[in-house]
Amino acid sequence: MSEIKVPEMGESITEGTVSKWVVKEGDTVSQGDVLLELETDKVNLEISAEEDGVIESITRQEGETVQVGESVGVIGAGNGAPKAPPAPPAKEDKPAPPAPANEQAREPKTDLATAVAVSKPETGDTIATPAARKLARERGIDLTAVQGNDPIGRVKHDDVRKHDDKPTNLGAAPSKPAPPKAPAADSNPAKPADRVPMSRRRRTIANRLVEAQHNAAMLTTFNEVDMTAILDVRKRRKDKFKEKHDVGLGFMSFFTKAVVGALKAYPMVNAEIDGDDVIIKKYYDIGIAVSAKEGLVVPVVRDADRLGFAGIEKEIASLASKARNNSLALSELQGGTFTITNGGVFGSLLSTPILNAPQVGILGMHKIQVRPVAIDDVRMENRPMMYIALSYDHRIIDGSEAVSFLVKVKELLEDPETLLIEG
C-alpha cells in the first residue's frame, strides 16, 4: 500500500488545487499511469502512480486545495489486478458464532455513524470542502442547513449549489440570521447566465496584477516605431532563414535583441528592488508573455544576449508551444529580468502593460498600422507604424531614463543592422 502524495513543485509553490481525477476508487493502475491533474499558480501538473495496484481510496476531491506533501489518496497492494475483498475479521483462531442478522444489518450504519462522529469537530461546525465554504460565503448560506450526500457527512460544492436552487430551505431556521444575500447572477431564468469559478491560475494572475499596481509607482511612456526596415529585412531574408534554421523569422527576435541592447545602455531597467537595496542584474533573461487557455503565462528566454536571431526564434516557438499544451516546467517560468508582451497579435493599437513583479520594466508591442507619416517638411508617406509602450517602476527609474530607454529601442528597431552590433 502507498499514499498518493502532492509532490514538491518548486520553492515558490506550496499548494495546488485538485483539478481532475483521471481514475476512481477501485480502478486498477500500473506504475506511471496518470492519476490526477493538479492546478497550481503557474502550471498544471500530472501526478502519476509510483507502483502497480488498485485505487483503494480518494481522500481529496476535485476543487479542493492541497498542500505539498499531503496525501490525496491510497493505492492498495496489487500487481495490476484488483485486490481480493478482505476476509471478515476473527477474534480468535476458532470460528466465532455468527452475529444475529439484525446486528449484522446495523454494523455498517454504526461504523458510518462512528466515522462521522470522529471526523466532525466537537464545536458543531459543519464539515465542508473549501469550494463549498467559499460558495456558501458568496451566497450567504448557512452550511448547517445544507444537506450533504457524502458518506462521512462532508458538504461539497454541488450540495451548496443545489441547496441554493431550492425554493425554500425546507428546514428549521438557522440559529443566527444569515447575512443578506445579493441575487445570484444565474437566479433569473429570463436572463440566463453561467456562473463559472475562476481557475487557480486566473485568481493568481488577478491577485498579482493588483499587487503590482499597489506596490509599485507604475508609469507608462509611449513612442512609435517605423517598421519599414524590419519588414524589408523579413521580406528579403525570411525564406533563406527558414530554409537554414527551420524556424520562421518573426518580429519577436528583433524586439528581444533591441530590448537587450537598450537594457545594456540603461541597466537600471534590468534591476529589482529588494527592501532598501537595488539589485542590478548583469544577465538578460527576457520573459515573453504568451496567451494560453488558462490565462497569460510568461516563459523566459534565458541569456537572450548570447543567442542569435535563430536561437531566439526557436526558443520562443518552443516555449509558446509548451505554454499552449500546458507542459511548461516551473523553471521555465521563473527568474526573468524584463518582459515583452505583444498585444498586437490580438489587434491592440495601444495599451499600458502592467509590471511583472518583481521586474521594474515591461515593453508592450502593438498592431502594425499603415498611416501617413511626415518624412520632412515637404513629404508625407504611408508607413507601417507601431506604437510601443514601456511601463516602469518610478521608484528607481526616472522619467528621463525611461524615455531614453524607449528611444533606444526605437532606434535599434528602425536600423536593424545595429542589432547585430549593439544587441
CA distance 404 to 267: 12
Cell numbers describing residue 130: 473549501
Check residue 55 and report its DSSP letter.
E
CB 259 within 8 A of CB 409: yes
Over the Cα atoms of the chain, what is R_g? 29
Handedness of CA 362, 368, 374, 379 (dihedral sign): positive
Give catalytic status of residue 41 as yes or no: no
**Selected catalytic residue, list 165, 246, 398, 415:** 398
CB 156 within 8 A of CB 143: no
Cβ atoms within 10 Å of 143's Cβ, excluding its own: 20
CA distance 215 to 213: 6
> Exposure pattern of 377-412 as b/e (b: 16+ CB <10 Å)?
eeeeeebebbbbbbbbbeebbeeebbebbbebbbeb
3-state secondary structure of 202: helix
CA distance 352 to 201: 22
Residue of 322, 387, 313 whose CA lies nearest to 350 = 387
Give catalytic status of residue 245 as yes or no: no
**Selected catalytic residue, list 165, 232, 246, 394:** 394
- What does the DSSP assignment read for 15-63? EEEEEEESS-TT-EE-TT-EEEEEE-SS-EEEEE-SSSEEEEEE-S-TT
Q: How many residues does the chain have?
A: 423
Specify the DSSP element, H or E, that contains 57.
Answer: strand 53-58
Catalytic residue list: 394, 398
